[in-house]
Each structure stands twice: as structure tokens, then as C-alpha cells.
Structure 1
Amino acid sequence: MQPLNMMNNVAKARLLHSLLREEIPEFLGYLNELTETVLNDKERISEAWDNGMMAAEMWFELAERIQAIMAKYPKDLYRSPNVFADQLFDGYLAIFTRHALTTYVQQAKQTDPKFKPAVELLFT
């Protein structure tokens, strides 16, 4: 295994899935809810958007792409660490899914107490 500081988002997500697989369905449910919320509340989000690194439209596009992936690979995202990591944590999609992961643990939605420290170790 690579040192943590040498791992990219895909490798970190693969490791997270492998270590704490039981938490993945709950996270995927949260991720789906988050994409729905973002896409159903575009006007309010656009008005309040203050991220200088990315336009609100890009955020909406990422949410749409994640929804498409979740529809295409519903069972594989849970079953396979490779599909989970490769599909949701590659490229720009990692911005949205990393945000979802950190929000998920900040709101204490996880059922496994080890999930939060794992996310913090890998993604913050």
C-alpha cells in the first residue's frame, strides 16, 4: 500500500470502501439525497453561491453526473470498492463526493463510529 500522502482521491476512496463497506449504502443514500437537494434548489443555491473556484452551474453539473452514475451502477457502487472509487472519486466528481463525505460525517449520519475518523484521516 502507498503512503497516505501519495494516495489520490480514487485510492483513498477504494481504501475507505474496503475498510468500512457496511457504511457505504448509508453514505450512498445521503449522496443521492444531497444531489436531489442541490438540483431541486438551484435558484436559492445560485443566489447564495460564493465559491470563487467554481461556478454554481458546475456544481449542478457534478450533481447531475453523480445521479447518472448512481442510476447506472446502483449495486456495483456498494459491492465493488473499484467501481465506488473509480466512478465517484475521479476527476472533478471528487469535489462533490468529498464534500458529501465530510458533510455526512459532520452531521453524524454514520452508524459506524470508525467511519468519521477514517474520512477525516483520508480526506481532510
Structure 2
Amino acid sequence: MNTTTSHKSPCGAVRMPYSALTQLLAAGPDPAPASVSASAPAPAAAAAPRHHVAGRPTLTIRQTAVLDLMADGHGNAVIARTLRCSEHTVKNTIYDLMSRLQARNRAHAVAHALRHGLI
């Protein structure tokens, strides 16, 4: 049975898989968002947020979701509707992604994420 739960965020209600929610809660309170590598499902990865692990950048759940939708060719408005948040939040997430991945543009960010197995 696929169980999901709702989590209220500043940009509205966001649906999150139960397993992802339990990983975030297991990490405990942290002023910085929990970084979770797309290929590391272990809760230990969420407990130690870092920008790079072994030369590979890690992304938050929201950054990974935005990057997936960017890779599918969606614009900011569609990404915002899909993730149920504002376009401003999407723009800020993309800005942080570009900085974290040291990408010059959206295509470069997607290529970098594919090369490093982030999406």
C-alpha cells in the first residue's frame, strides 16, 4: 500500500512519500534543510547534510524534484503547479541548484546531475 502524507510548507501543501518523511524526521531538528542523495536511501545520509559527499554534490528533496521536472523540459510555471508552490520558490530553488552544481544554465545543470547520478 502506497501511503502518503501531507506536509504544510510556506508555499502550500506538499505531498511527500511516507518513507521520505520518516527519513527527514529521523534526522532530527536541523536549521539547514536535510540533504539527501538520490542514490543513498539510508537515513544516515539525511542525518549529515553536506554540499558534497566524496566529490559528488548532494541535493535536497525539493531540488531533486525541480531538477527532474527541468530535465523533462518543464518551465517554472509548470514546475510550481506540479510541486504546489510559488514560481518564486521554484526560481530560488533553481538559483541554489545552479550555485550548488556550479552550472551556467538549466541545460548544464541537468547534464551535470545526469553525469553525477543525481537524477
On whether the aligned pair clears a TM of 0.5, the verdict is no
Q: Which has the higher contact order (CA 8 A, sep 6+)?
A: 1
- Say which structure is richer in strand: 2
Coarse TM-score class (shorter-chain normalised): 0.3 to 0.5
TM-score (norm 2): 0.33
Superposition TM-score, scaled by structure 1 size:
0.32
